[in-house]
Amino acid sequence: MLFKELNLIEPILKALETEGYTQPTPIQEQSIPTILKGKDLLGCAQTGTGKTAAFAIPMLQLLHEKHINTKATKNIKALILTPTRELAIQIEESFKAYGRNLNLRHLVIFGGVSQHSQVESLKKGVDILVATPGRLIDLMNQGFINLNTIEIFVLDEADRMLDMGFIHDVKRVVAKLPARRQTLFFSATMPDEIQKLANTILSSPTKVEVTPISSTAETIVQSVYFVDKPDKKKLLIHLLEDKGIETALVFTRTKHGADRIVKDLGFAGIKSAAIHGNKSQNARQRALTEFKDRKIRVLVATDIAARGIDIDQLSHVFNYELPNIPESYVHRIGRTGRAGANGIAISFCDAEENEYLLDIQKLIKITLPVVDDHPYPLSWENMMAKNQIKRKPQAQSKGGGGGGAKRNGDGNMSGKPRNASNNRRFGGNRNKAKA
């Protein structure tokens, strides 16, 4: 199917052509007709599926057609609520790109910067507002924003809103919206609390699901390296010495950990930058720009800061520390392998993280292949002596079908790692892959 078959108006089709887009992604193909009919929508879609365009394109058309012959007002007509500053900026850029030939005003507001310029833009009038919860509520409380004229409301990355503790802020915003509105609800995963929220704010929605819940893209080659915690930095440096790794996004659980990794990589002569909540907006944007421009090839991020990062042709994702929330693994590795491209996701697992690995494998219904021929294998005997892990005897399975050598077929780590070899980094049939 082509975009021109979706009953889109000529100004939008021209904008899409300018952007180089001719064919919609599955979520766009399913969502655009529903939204154009004015119906509520529940979209269960992973990052990288094209969901921003799936709601931005039809919203632009609906607002343009409804208000083309009416006098411009200062009233906000559409609100997109999203969890992070980076994602908010990218969504607003999408509205700018797809609406370049339309006379609709859009604005993005977020915290971490002065509100002065944002307030001045609001005073001039805005049709489409993209916002993060904190800054939106701040400006609402100050009387600069009134939501009683909202016609279309989008809640994006709802599950991440829950993870970040924004769920009560979301409910406060929803309470200020008019009852008669169109609501578009997007979430990569659907835990119970998010499903309850969707049931509360949606009215007879059409459900669009383009991938199984909590699945990982088939284009991503996933693997796990068992390694002692103190050796993780040495293993990361060892792997990043491979110049075939053009771009790498490294995830850590803490802000301090992100800064420490950047410092360790710097000592090894590897240029990198960190983005997390303690960084200023300018510093975060500068790091992203340098990464996209290939001035640095390694970006280190926390889960919250990385949500919404949109980087073309990201080759590698490293889980320096496994997330304690299994759904975060899906979000993390979704940075690579986008739009049918191939990607590689490498996870480091120390003995204390084994339970996290079991939870991840249970969620994604995949047993991650183990790479055990590296210079810093886990000290099994020492760890077991400290009662930090438990494992039961199991015959080592043979690699096959591209799955790699799997020593934890039932989720338990079993079998000793072989002696390190620098000639091969992936077990089984993945020996040609680059780690």
Is pLDDT above 80 for 27?
A: yes
Adjacent-strand bridge partners of 42:
185, 207
State how far the Cα of 90 lies from the Cα of 340, in Å rounded to an integer: 21
What is the CA angle 338-341-343, rounded to 5? 80
Q: Report CA dihedral (175, 176, 180, 186) to the nearest 10 degrees.
A: -70
Average the pLDDT over 333-353 and give the result: 87
Q: Token digits for 194? A: 């998010």
Which amino acid makes up residue 204? S
Which amino acid is it at 172?
R
Report d(CA 350, CA 337) in Å as an integer: 26
Query: What is the pLDDT, as a whole number, of residue 112?
Result: 86
Q: Is the pLDDT of residue 6 over 60?
A: yes
Q: Which of 6-15, 94-103, 288-297, 406-415 has the lowest mean pLDDT?
A: 406-415
Stronger pLDDT, 206 or 243, i.e. the higher one: 206
pLDDT of residue 133: 96
- More confidently predicted of 324 and 267: 267
Query: What percentage of the chain has pLDDT greater than the value 90?
Result: 58
Is the predicted pLDDT of residue 390 greater than 70, yes or no? no
Confidence of residue 308 (pLDDT cuts 50, 70, 90): low
The whole-angstrom separation of Cα 164 and Cα 304 is 7
> Which range, of 44-48, 52-56, 58-62, averages the lowest pLDDT?
44-48
Residue 410 has pLDDT above 50, yes or no: no
Between 429 and 55, name the one with better pLDDT: 55
CA distance 368 to 365: 9
Question: What percentage of the chain reaches a pLDDT higher than 70?
Answer: 83
Top CATH class of 220-430 equals alpha beta
Find the mean pLDDT for residues 214-228.
87
> Which pLDDT band, with edges at 50, 70 and 90, does 233 fall under?
very high
Mean per-residue pLDDT of the chain = 84
Give the mean pLDDT of 54-75.
91
Helix (H, G, I), strand (E, B) or coil at 421: coil
Query: pLDDT, tens digit, for every residue of 142-160?
Result: 999 999 999 999 999 999 8
**Full-model pTM:** 0.59
Angle between helices 51-67 and 85-98 (to 10 degrees): 50
Scored b (16 or more CB within 10 A) or e, 319-335 reads bbbbbebbbbbbbbbbb
- Most confident stretch, 5-9, 110-114, 352-356, 388-392: 5-9
| Residue-level pLDDT at 431 | 36
SS3 112: coil
pLDDT at residue 403, as a whole number? 34
DSSP string, 299-323: EEE-HHHHTT---TT--EEEESS--
Closest CA to 155 of 136, 127, 138, 142: 136
Tokens (6 digits) for 50? 């094209």
CA distance 51 to 156: 9
Under CATH, which architecture does the 3-209 domain have?
3-Layer(aba) Sandwich (3.40)
pLDDT at 397 over 50: no
Structure tokens at 83: 């969890």
Q: Which amino acid is at 258?
A: A
pLDDT at 47: 64
123 and 73 in contact (C-beta within 8 Å)?
A: no
What's the confidence (pLDDT) of residue 380?
Answer: 67
CATH 3.40.50.300 domain extents, the chain: 3-209, 220-430
Give yes or no for residue 361 having a pLDDT over 50: yes
DSSP line for 155-207: E-SHHHHHHTT-HHHHHHHHHTS-SS-EEEEEESS--HHHHHHHHHH-SSPEE
Give dist(CA 174, CA 176) in Å, integer: 5
Distance CA 382, CA 134 (A): 47
pLDDT at 237: 97
Mean per-residue pLDDT for 100-121?
95
Confidence of residue 409 (pLDDT cuts 50, 70, 90): very low
Residue 73 falls in which region: left (phi positive, over 0), alpha (psi -120 to 50) or beta: beta
Q: Which of 144, 152, 94, 101 is nearest to 127 (CA)?
A: 152
Inform me whether the pLDDT recorded for 385 exceeds 50: no
Q: What is the pLDDT of residue 257?
A: 92
